[in-house]
Chains A and B, each alone.
Chain A
Amino acid sequence: KAGVTQTPRYLIKTRGQQVTLSCSPISGHRSVSWYQQTPGQGLQFLFEYFSETQRNKGNFPGRFSGRQFSNSRSEMNVSTLELGDSALYLCASSLDEGTQYFGPGTRLTVL
């Protein structure tokens, strides 16, 4: 079974721009979660989607949003990028409330 895939793997943007990251879960997994990893704040939960609905949300500003499609693929969007948004964004999938399996991440650099 193929693992979680994320595209793109690397991204460079400038302040004020917006960005969309994509995540394809393991086949059959309906839950997709997003995490942000930075040296200063560590790994932080952004949000979780299940059956195309946002089921849980972390403490991030409204500039961070996401969605899930009927095939369980998910996208997250960050608008009006700030320097502090530079991070590794990790996506994880699970069957439901099970173990989360992570993708390789998208490394976002904001200049």
Chain B
Amino acid sequence: AQKVTQAQTEISVVEKEDVTLDCVYETRDTTYYLFWYKQPPSGELVFLIRRNSFDEQNEISGRYSWNFQKSTSSFNFTITASQVVDSAVYFCALSGRLTGGGNKLTFGTGTQLKVEL
């Protein structure tokens, strides 16, 4: 069985602070994918990043950065210099190998990020 844990239910920061969202996953698959999605109040899940299990290279994209550590089964997400528009619920998700192929995302419970002025 696959499991994704986001221990932080809600985080509040003041604009321009850096914030890190934690994600820990469990899977028996050797090949899998990890994702981060953002859900603003409108409800649509917005794709942010995908990483496969063989690519532990960390990435920076603008104000976003990701830290994937297979040894600790963690895939953390950092927003640098947060802005009010970053306020949303952030979901970490895992997709493993399925018999017959295909897609099935297992989501964490989400972290509500509130960025205040």
- Chain A residues positioned under 8 Å from B43 (CB to CB): 88, 90, 104-105, 107
CB-based contact B44/A58 at 8 Å: no
Q: Which residues of B contact A96 (CB under 8 A)?
A: 101
- B47 near A99 (CB under 8 angstroms)? yes
> Residues of A within 8 Å of B, CB-based: how many?
25
Binds B, one of A12-20, A41-49, A63-71, A76-84: A41-49
Interface with A: B11-19, B62-70, B72-80, B103-111, which one?
Answer: B103-111
Residue of B37, B47, B102, B107 near A97 (CB, 8 A) is: B102
DSSP class of B's interface residues: helix, strand, loop or mixed?
Answer: loop
Contact with A33, one of B46, B101, B103, B107 (Cβ below 8 angstroms): B103
Choose among B45, B103, B107, B110 the residue with the greatest number of A CB atoms under 10 Å from its CB: B103
Q: Is B85 an interface residue, CB under 8 A from the partner?
A: no
B50 touches A99 (CB 8 A): yes
Q: Indicate whether A100 reaches chain B with its CB closer than 8 angstroms.
A: yes
Given contact pairs A42-B109, A56-B98, A99-B35, A104 touches B44 in the complex (Cβ within 8 A): yes
Report A49 CB to chain B, min CB distance, Å: 9
Cβ contact within 8 Å between B110 and A94: no
Known contacts: A42-B109, A42-B110, A102-B37. The answer to whether A56 contacts B44 by CB under 8 A is no
Q: Which residues of B contact A48 (CB under 8 A)?
A: 102-104
A94–B103 touching, CB < 8 Å: yes
Known pairs A56-B102, A101-B47, A107-B43 / 15 extra A-B pairs, C-beta < 8 Å: A42-B109, A43-B105, A43-B107, A45-B104, A48-B104, A50-B102, A56-B98, A96-B101, A97-B101, A97-B102, A100-B47, A100-B103, A102-B45, A102-B47, A103-B44
Chain A positions within 8 Å of B, measured between CB atoms, are 31, 33, 35, 42-43, 45, 48, 50, 55-56, 58, 88, 90, 92, 94, 96-97, 99-105, 107
A-B contact list, 5 entries, CB within 8 Å? A43-B105, A45-B105, A92-B103, A102-B37, A105-B43
